[in-house]
Amino acid sequence: MTNELRPITYTYLFPVSDEDGSTSEARRGDLSDLLRDADSYLFSGNPVPPLWIMNDFLATGLSDLGMGGGARWEPFALDEKEYADFLRYLDTPNGRQKFYRETAVKIATPPPDVNTKEAYSVWKIRDAMADPKHHFNTTRVWAMIEGEIVTMTLGEAMLSRRDVTWHYIQNSD
């Protein structure tokens, strides 16, 4: 049984300009290369997104993480076999190294209203922060916005504000 991943040509977006001023470069690789360069956060650690979340992400054709880099590609969708092949790849030594994984793959089971990559990212962060085994157990953050200290519950509005730096507020309980 072969575990080949879909070959892909895509444009890697540099986190910052290269020495010669370049902001991107064409790359050829496979699905794992694209996903690592586009948004490795989705696949490092557990859980990994279910197929419908991956397909929502892949259908956009763009992941611009600003200072985090990103990628641009022709939109596509995975079928169940390609998704299963990718999950098996994540559990190989190469997959674990590429995505900095230490544990066996577990597929996320988000609630039905988590149906986009953005909603999944928020859900994954909330889930991680609610887990008492993490050294931070908080759902509140603060930032200085236009000279005022603003606090809010962790969520999409907070994650969409890329113009400010958010700081965690430790729970007192």
Secondary structure, 3-state, 16-82:
CCCCCCCCEEEEEEEHHHHHHHHHHHHCCCCCECCHHHHHHHHCCCEEECHHHCEEECCCCCCCHHH
Q: How far is the C-alpha of 155 from the C-alpha of 119, rounded, in Å? A: 9
Cβ contact 106:43 at 8 Å: no
At 18-39, the pLDDT tens digits run 666 678 899 999 999 999 888 8
Q: Is the pLDDT of residue 163 over 60?
A: no
Q: How far is the C-alpha of 155 from the C-alpha of 58, rounded, in Å? A: 23
| Distant-in-sequence, close-in-space partners of 107: CB < 8 Å, separation ≥ 6 | 47, 48, 49, 50, 87
DSSP 103: S
Q: In sequence order, what are the beta bridge partners of 9?
A: 28
Q: How confident is the model at residue 80 (pLDDT cuts 50, 70, 90)?
A: very high
CB half-sphere exposure, 27, CA atoms < 13 A: 21
- Give residue 133's pLDDT: 45
Q: What is the pTM of this model?
A: 0.69
131 or 115: whose pLDDT is higher? 115
